[in-house]
Amino acid sequence: MNTLFITGVTGFLGGAVLEKILTGNRTCNLLLLARAATPEEGLERVKANMRKFNIQEHELNTLKTDNILIGDLADPDGFIQDPRLDKVTHVLNSAAVASFGNNPLIWKVNVEGTLALARRMEQVAGLQRFLHVGTAMSCTPEQDAVVAESAEFRENAEHLVEYTRSKSTIEQLMRQECPELPLLIARPSIVVGHTRHGCTPSSSIFWVFSMGLMLQKFMCSMEDKIDVVPVDYCADALLMLLSSDANKGDVIHISAGEENSVRFADIDNAMAKALEKAPVGDKYAQVSYETLVKMRRELKDIFGPCNERLMLKAMRLYGAFATLNVRFSNDKLLSMGMPKPPRFTDYIARCVQTTQGLTIPEQMAVDFK
């Protein structure tokens, strides 16, 4: 890669990719999109995020203000005419408003801003790859399925949250409106934690498992499986895909697949071992959302001070995903030479260790921003 332009570098996944670049002696020119008033402020935002990944200062100091492109996908007109974009050979578009709340910027960033960027980059003569990070859940999978890698979407499918609807929509719009864009779609499954840093870079979604086990009841069964990958595995896969010979327009899952997805019972056992306590096991009950609503007054006793309405909303949304019991085929990625991902239970102890002392409401804030 000659010049790599990364969006979302101050976030979880984009930060993990930059960690791999800075610590892996990879040689490429970097252009990093950052929201800030000045390049100096933008550089500090990037560095602050990288410190969550335990990047050493001498490695951070290889980044300069020249690497920073000040801009915001919520207002793409402010940066898309920057002449440095004409030198870009590869794009990793990992920026998104990934909130499961009703953030008004979801559509503005994930659809409108991303489409404006795609249109701009389609005009760059030397562009070799536009790697867009979607989500495996954008295909609205049917319950109990092993989902194939496909660009097709089910007609009139209902999305559980606006985030997945926006990711589905932008994929279709880029295909329709940017036919010359060297587009490749990566769809990660559920990205939780880091195999070395645990939840220090982000506690996103990990709290769901802790919450269900603290309640000793949730909407899924202990035998249901969940497809989880760590962010560092996802970052390795994205870097491989940027320089791969994958076909334009292809869709590739970054997922645990059928083999490495884990049961909730396995998660219970692994978390109990990390906490040096007995697993919930037979004390766990699969219940309806209505049963959880009836427990509303007990939530503060279980979780400490919390917004009961938001806690119930989180249970409803994440419970609906958990009960799907879906796995996402990772055949394409493995056939390209990517090793199998670690199981969630292989590194869950590190996630437990790095969330000690944080309440569930504190951990879940990142997903409802």
pLDDT in tens, 222-244: 999 999 999 999 999 999 999 99
Alpha helices by DSSP H, 230-323: 231-242, 257-260, 264-275, 289-294, 299-303, 308-322
pTM for this prediction: 0.95
pLDDT in tens, 136-180: 988 877 888 888 988 777 766 777 788 889 999 999 999 999 999
Are 64 and 28 in contact by the 8 Å Cβ rule? The answer is no
DSSP conformational letter for 247: P
pLDDT in tens, 247-291: 999 999 999 999 999 999 999 999 999 999 999 999 999 999 999
Whether the per-residue pLDDT at 127 is higher than 90: the answer is yes
Instruction: State the Cα–Cα distance between residues 275 and 28, nearest whole angstrom.
Output: 42
pLDDT in tens, 28-42: 899 999 999 999 999
pLDDT of residue 72: 96
Coil, helix or strand at residue 32 = strand
Measured CA distances, 164 to 158, 170, 272, 305 (Å): 10, 10, 32, 30
What is the residue whose two structure tokens read 């890698």?
149
Q: How far is CA 182 from the centre of its chain?
A: 22
Residues ≥6 apart with Cβ < 8 Å to 138: 153, 164, 165, 167, 168, 171, 187
Task: Quote the strand ranges of the chain, DSSP E.
Answer: 3-7, 29-34, 68-70, 90-93, 129-133, 146-147, 183-188, 190-191, 217-218, 225-226, 228-229, 251-254, 262-263, 285-286, 327-328
| Exposed/middle/buried for residue 57 (C-beta within 10 Å: 0-12, 13-18, 19+) | exposed
Rounded to the nearest 10°, the torsion over CA 210, 216, 218, 224 is: 80
HSE-up of residue 303 (Cα within 13 Å, Cβ side):
28
Q: Which of 6-15, 74-83, 194-203, 302-311 is the least confident region?
A: 302-311
Are 160 and 320 in contact by the 8 Å Cβ rule? The answer is yes
